Amino acid sequence: MSVSTEHLRVAVLLSGRGSNLAALIEAAGQELAIALVGAFGDRADAPGLARAAAAGIPTASFSPKSYPDKASFEAALFAAVAASGAELVVLAGFMRVLTAHTVEQWRGRLINIHPSLLPKFQGLHTHARAIEAGEREHGASVHFVTPVLDGGPVLMQTRLPILPDDTPESLATRLLPLEHRLLVAAVRLFAERRVRLDGDQIAVDGQMIGEPLKL
């Protein structure tokens, strides 16, 4: 793939499998105008880092245990992210809460994919909690990261019905391909330079969006 200077430089942070990263890799190999400039993890054995390396993307892992505190861990991690020249940082299954300091430094350039219809079910075990709560619908959200965990402005969501016999596993399995499409669609808006965070408001094509865009 040839990378023009107009391609948006994107870094991905992950902790595990990396299927959302794989969706970005596939889209970048087709029509999505991004350059994946780095994949960064908090575990050297994260399968997602191996996927990235196989696709020729520079990878690095940073173990929190190697640093005296969270601030110095994040400083090292985000120094590497900055050195990659990333214009947009995507948290795709990065299972750590970032400090307010880091989040503020990257405000407007840091997004996360979360497996729920935010503001519902922030945090972990979202599929089980949606079923237990008797929800009829579930989904995933791409949102800007702010110091409030899973609480930043939501750019785009995808939805699916919860079926009577759904288990957390079946729901997660049916949601995952929708997550992949959602993330690619959201990143496309950035690649097309159409989205901007203005305070706590998201503007798309210069217009504030009152509610999340739908996939």
Burial label, 182 (beta-carbon count in 10 A; 0-12, 13-18, 19+)? buried
Asked if 180 is an active-site residue, the reply is: no
Place of tokens 């330079």: 193
Q: Is 184 in the site for ligand GAR (CB under 6 A)?
A: no
| Residue 143 token pair | 């949102």
**Residues 18, 41, 152, 153: which binds ligand GAR (CB under 6 A)?**
18
Helix ranges, the chain (H): 19-28, 47-54, 70-83, 100-105, 126-132, 168-191
CB of 14 to ligand GAR, least distance (A): 5
Q: Is 115 in the site for ligand GAR (CB under 6 A)?
A: yes
Q: Is 19 in the site for ligand GAR (CB under 6 A)?
A: yes
CA distances for 92 relative to 17, 18, 21, 96, 110, angstroms: 10, 7, 7, 11, 11
Which window, 57-65, 113-121, 127-135, 194-202, contacts ligand GAR (CB under 6 A)? 113-121
Q: Which is nearer to ligand GAR, 186 or 196 (CB)?
A: 186
CA angle 99, 101, 107 (to 5 degrees): 100
Cα atoms in the 13 Å half-sphere on the side-chain side of 186: 34
Q: Which is nearer to ligand GAR, 79 or 184 (CB)?
A: 184
CB of 157 to ligand GAR, least distance (A): 12
Q: Compute how many other C-beta atoms are within 10 angstroms of the C-beta atom of residue 46.
A: 23
Q: Which is nearer to ligand GAR, 79 or 97 (CB)?
A: 97
Identity of the amino acid at 212? P
Q: Is 152 in the site for ligand GAR (CB under 6 A)?
A: no
Q: Nearest-CB residue to ligand GAR?
A: 93
- Helices 19-28 and 47-54 pack at an angle, to 10 degrees, of 20
Q: Is 16 in the site for ligand GAR (CB under 6 A)?
A: yes
Q: Which is nearer to ligand GAR, 83 or 149 (CB)?
A: 149
| Residues 92-111: x where in contact with ligand GAR by CB under 6 A, - otherwise, as a string | xx------------------
Residues 46-75 that bind ligand GAR (CB under 6 A): 48
Give residues in contact with ligand GAR (CB under 6 A): 14, 16-20, 48, 92-93, 113-115, 140, 179
Q: Which residues are catalytic?
A: 114
